[in-house]
Amino acid sequence: MEFLYLFMLVLCGMCVRGEVCPKQCDCDMDNGLNRAMCVDQNIINIDVGVSKAVQVYSLSHNAISELDNFCFKESGYTSLEVLDLSFNTIFWIGLHAFSDLDKLKHLDLSSNRLRFIPSDLFWDTPQLETLDLSSNVFESIKNEPLIMHASLKILNLNNCRIKALPNRLFNRLPNLRKLDLSENYVVTLNTEVLLPLRKLERIELRNDYWQCNTAFTALEDWITSRGITYQKQCTKRGPNMSEKMIAVAPPIEKVQVDLNEVWNITTEKNETATEMPPRPLTPFEKFDKEFSSLQAFIIGMEIGLAFGIVGTYIWLNKFCTCGALRCDRPQNRRQRRRRMQRLEGDMRTNLLWSTIVNPDLETPPLYRRELSLPDRSPPFPTYGLPIVTEAPLQVDAIRLPDRSETPPPPYNDCRINI
């Protein structure tokens, strides 16, 4: 009974406690928003067990390399307003990776390994205002809009190894207010690049590669004439003597924190508003979500093997002279002669073996020749000549009554030399 009572107390305590903060993270409040700081924990996935009510989510200094399509939607992090993914190893982002992040306002993707991003990558984040893409590897940029977004106000492209700025680069950013292009490899800048940015208020162009010629001086004058905050580069600059100090502190063991104590998870109920049903996925989105590269590779291997087997079967039936899958090479003269000799030897062997097995074969007649002369005694009378008598016959030409010719040996006494 006491054990049952203790078990009920533990169960009730777990129900009251609710969700907890993972050990890899620090959970607190930031300006009234639920914040989870999961920094420098070798995390490889965005879902580490943080509650779905998180609004400020920091995953910087980890080992995240990819952002799959619908990853935040499937994990339930649709309430995010601030997302920090800086100092990871992200080199690929799915086209619908930020799907359903309707409340996202600040996104930090700095210090990653991005070389290219689709221009409509942030189409699913309509309230995005700040985007940090600094310290990536955008070496070659095409003459097309880099980003298409109607609400973006701050864009940071600092230290992205950009070599040139095409004229159409910022054509689809009508509300951009601040632009940072510092520490790149650009040597010149045209006025046409900045003309679409009609609401630009501040621009940063810190760079050691600018060519301070007449054209660049005229560009600086044009920037200042439009009231844009800008620090001129074609002036004598002093050395930068500041340096960053890094303190190494021993790691502190973290304990689980009750989110009910640090977060405000209660949600306001709006009776007038009706819950919108989730938007069904298009066939392309469903295919992109469910079909993996491994499945495509396996299907390709199976199709290739099937075509190879069918092609081999057709080729063998067409080019083989025997009309079947088993074909023999044509024999030359020497092989045919050896084959005939082997057949003759087999015939002789079979004949000899048959005589040994069946010895009662028919033998030739007992006598090799019949009597050549009539059976009469000499001397024999002559016909027509009474005086002349015929010479007696030789003994060997007459078959004697008690003598017979020796018959030939039977067949079973023959010997064939092979």
| Nearest in space to 183 (alpha carbons), one of 167, 155, 217, 160 | 160
- pLDDT tens readout for residues 128-154: 999 999 999 998 888 999 999 999 999
Scanning the structure block, which residue is given the tokens 């799959």? 68
**How many angstroms separate the CA atoms of 106 and 86, rounded?**
12
Q: Is the peptide bond before 379 cis (omega within 30 degrees of 0)?
A: yes
**How many angstroms separate the CA atoms of 157 and 109, rounded?**
11
**How many angstroms separate the CA atoms of 148 and 169, rounded?**
10
pTM for the model? 0.57
- The dihedrals phi and psi of 175, each to the nearest 5 degrees, come to -110, 20
- Give residue limits of the domains in the chain: 292-322
| Nearest in space to 54 (alpha carbons), one of 20, 81, 74 | 81
Residue 221, Ramachandran bin (φ over 0: left; ψ between -120 and 50: alpha; else beta): alpha
Rounded to whole angstroms, the maximal C-alpha distance in the chain is: 176
**How many angstroms separate the CA atoms of 195 and 199, rounded?**
10
Dihedral sign of CA atoms 32, 38, 43, 49 in order: negative
Q: How does pLDDT run along the chain (418 residues), one tens digit per residue? A: 444 444 454 444 444 345 899 999 999 999 999 999 999 999 999 999 999 999 999 999 999 999 999 999 999 999 999 999 999 999 999 999 999 999 999 999 999 999 999 999 999 999 999 999 999 999 888 899 999 999 999 999 999 999 999 999 999 999 999 999 999 999 989 899 999 999 999 999 998 888 888 889 999 999 999 999 999 888 755 455 554 555 455 666 677 777 777 787 765 555 554 556 677 777 767 777 776 778 888 888 999 999 999 999 888 887 765 555 555 555 678 888 888 888 888 777 777 766 666 655 555 554 444 444 454 555 555 555 555 555 554 544 445 555 555 566 555 555 555 5
Are the C-beta atoms of residues 111 and 80 closer than 8 Å to each other?
A: no
The pLDDT score that the predictor gives to residue 66 is 94
Are the C-beta atoms of residues 147 and 155 closer than 8 Å to each other?
A: yes
The pLDDT score that the predictor gives to residue 340 is 86
**How many angstroms separate the CA atoms of 306 and 259, rounded?**
57
The pLDDT score that the predictor gives to residue 390 is 52
The pLDDT score that the predictor gives to residue 224 is 92
